[in-house]
Amino acid sequence: MEEQGTGDIVDFTSNPLDTILKTETQNELLQVRKVILQELEALDSVAKQSLILWLGLGINQEDFLEMLNLSKQYQVARKFQGYQKHILKSLSQFVFSKYLKKDLTEKRDRASLLTTILNYLKSI
């Protein structure tokens, strides 16, 4: 549609608020990714490689028995839980320090933010 008298075409389908929200969400996800990658790098090489293979390639825990010199699958599960706990602890601290310091009256939907973060974590 043409704006009267200017000759400019106005795009009513793009919403500046949507653009701002998308940019903000992308920035938040980049910050979350940075925290996760920092903590992943802080793990020892076996832990880091194991998590990357397990989460990224879908290799099951039984495949790690020999690599980690373990005899039972539950031992692998416990190791992985420990690795993940370390990363999730740092991620939780980051999220809480960033978002819980804001006013409780803020209109931002915290449940939506946590859902976004969880969806991102599932995708990596």
Q: What is the pLDDT of residues 8-41, one digit of tens each?
A: 665 556 667 777 778 888 888 888 778 777 777 7
- Chain-wide mean pLDDT for the chain? 72
Q: Is the dihedral of CA 51, 53, 58, 63 positive or negative?
A: negative
User: pLDDT at position 103, please?
Assistant: 53
The answer to whether residue 5 is domain-embedded is no
Domain residue limits at 36: 16-123
User: pLDDT at position 2, please?
Assistant: 45
- Do 90 and 35 touch, CB atoms closer than 8 A? yes
Q: Measuring CA to CA, which residue among 83, 84, 90, 115 is closest to residue 31?
A: 90
Residue 6's pLDDT band (boundaries 50, 70, 90)?
Answer: low
Residue 81's pLDDT band (boundaries 50, 70, 90)?
Answer: confident
Long-range contact set of residues 81-85: C-beta below 8 Å, sequence gap at least 24? 83/43, 83/47, 83/50, 83/51, 84/51
The answer to whether residue 86 is domain-embedded is yes
The answer to whether residue 35 is domain-embedded is yes
Q: Measuring CA to CA, which residue among 32, 27, 10 is closest to residue 121?
A: 32
The answer to whether residue 103 is domain-embedded is yes
The answer to whether residue 74 is domain-embedded is yes
To 10 degrees, the CA torsion angle through 104, 108, 111, 114? -110
Q: Is pTM beyond 0.75 here?
A: no
Total domain count for the chain?
Answer: 1
The answer to whether residue 44 is domain-embedded is yes
Mean pLDDT of 96-116: 65
Exposure letters 56-83 (e unless 16+ CB within 10 A, then b): eeeeebeebeeeeeeeeeeebeebbeeb
The answer to whether residue 24 is domain-embedded is yes
The answer to whether residue 112 is domain-embedded is yes
Q: Strand, coil or helix: what is 59?
A: coil
Q: Strand, coil or helix: what is 21?
A: helix
